[in-house]
Structure 1
């Protein structure tokens, strides 16, 4: 360990020169002047929080589903049920921030993305929801205080098991180069008939949907068809890769 000698130099007034003393200092030892202070700039290092895999996500991983961004990192994800930006205004997914699908379904979604990029490289698929464990669907079903005939407009009856519960359905849209969703004339989770593909022509004729809205929806359907997905007639954003019977044959429901 190095030893540092700190010297204080005291100058005494004296008439005789023989009263002054010389102090010997070795060259390899620093002289510190106590009247001088040095400020050292410090930089605060802020670490990014680690991604937390909670019990719900671990259940999905253990069931063999894959994070779609590991299959195609260019696919955008904004899980609406991991926020309050949904029809319930509740976060029901907790720490879950990644979209999971069955491996083959994720690969088919990547085909859709490739097709879209071939049409317009500035556009991207933006996923709102993918696998939805039945336990979460049951919670959503239970907290909706409305008649069943109204409730089914928002959530499939968990007793039947939705295709989302198998990891074979996906809710999504198309985003531009800035990550902004294209205008589809009705928002995600909109239960009004203006969100129904089967009523598009009527709403176009009434002026409530524009030609651009229809073109955006048609591009989405065309994109998803490239990977073998098809749209349902009550939600422009919902696409199935398999029907319920086939999903049940191929996979286990995610509880």
Structure 2
């Protein structure tokens, strides 16, 4: 009996050590997310694909902004909604998947994006059209916004008419019909956007009028009051 109890004690200790090591193995920036109660969306739904653009050089700055942050984190209620959107997409288009480009973002990274607009010579009056003022914060800074697209059975992103983070009317949902009439967007490109919007809005996300890829889970005021900003 004593031997069995001792073995169980050792097993429990080993398990606790393994858990401690795994929790410590997270990069500091991701541990900060976990400590604030945010969750890795792929742990909620492994079917969701993730390619954080600001952890690569494939973004409007042309450099890695996030460093060791490579997983997509959201507030738990947002991650659950995203999983529901993923299920709706799977039902609508079997084989298709959501591909996350950006999720929770530290406010420190918000300053990097904001300051980069100066190098792109974006007029001061137009900066907030593309990047939220870090003093106020973006919904990304509260873990309540997500940037994403849809990929097909082969993992190829659907043609949405522009790349992620494209600056200009071609990316504006509010301008789609005008762009269609001018021949700058095709009906298929708009249909692809509408597919993404359909599954996201059905689970409670709101469309951004100037970015086809961006969806908010609640207002900025609500997010600030409920969660506070990720530093």
TM-score (norm 2): 0.85
**Counterpart-to-counterpart distance in 2, 1:230 and 1:96:** 25
Number of aligned pairs? 205
**In terms of mean alpha carbon deviation, does 109-118 or 244-253 score higher?**
244-253
Partners of 1:83 and 1:225 in 2: CA distance: 28
How far apart are 1:139 and its partner, in Å? 2.1
Structure (1 or 2) with the greater helix fraction = 2
Name the counterpart of 2:130.
154
Identify which of 97, 100, 109 aligns with 2:82. 109
Which range moved further: 120-129 or 245-254? 245-254
2:117 corresponding residue in structure 1: 144
Q: 1:128 aligns with which of 79, 92, 101?
A: 101
List, as ranges, runs of 4+ consecutive aligned residues in structure 1 with deviation greater than 4 Å: none
**1:82–1:97 Cα contact (<8 Å) kept:** yes
Q: CA deviation at 1:52?
A: 6.2
The residue number in structure 1 matching 2:63 is 90
Q: CA deviation at 1:253?
A: 1.0
Q: Report what 1:74 is aligned to.
A: 47
| CA distance in structure 1 between the partners assigned to 2:88 and 2:202 by the alignment | 7
Q: Distance in 2 between matches of 1:150 and 1:88?
A: 17
Shift of residue 163 of structure 1? 0.6
Q: Which residue number corresponds to residue 151 of structure 2?
A: 175
RMSD: 1.4
2:173 aligns with 197
Deviation for aligned residue 1:152: 2.3
| 1:235 matched residue in structure 2 | 211
Greater Cα offset, 153-162 or 183-192: 153-162
Aligned to 1:214: 190
Equivalent residue number for residue 72 of structure 2: 99
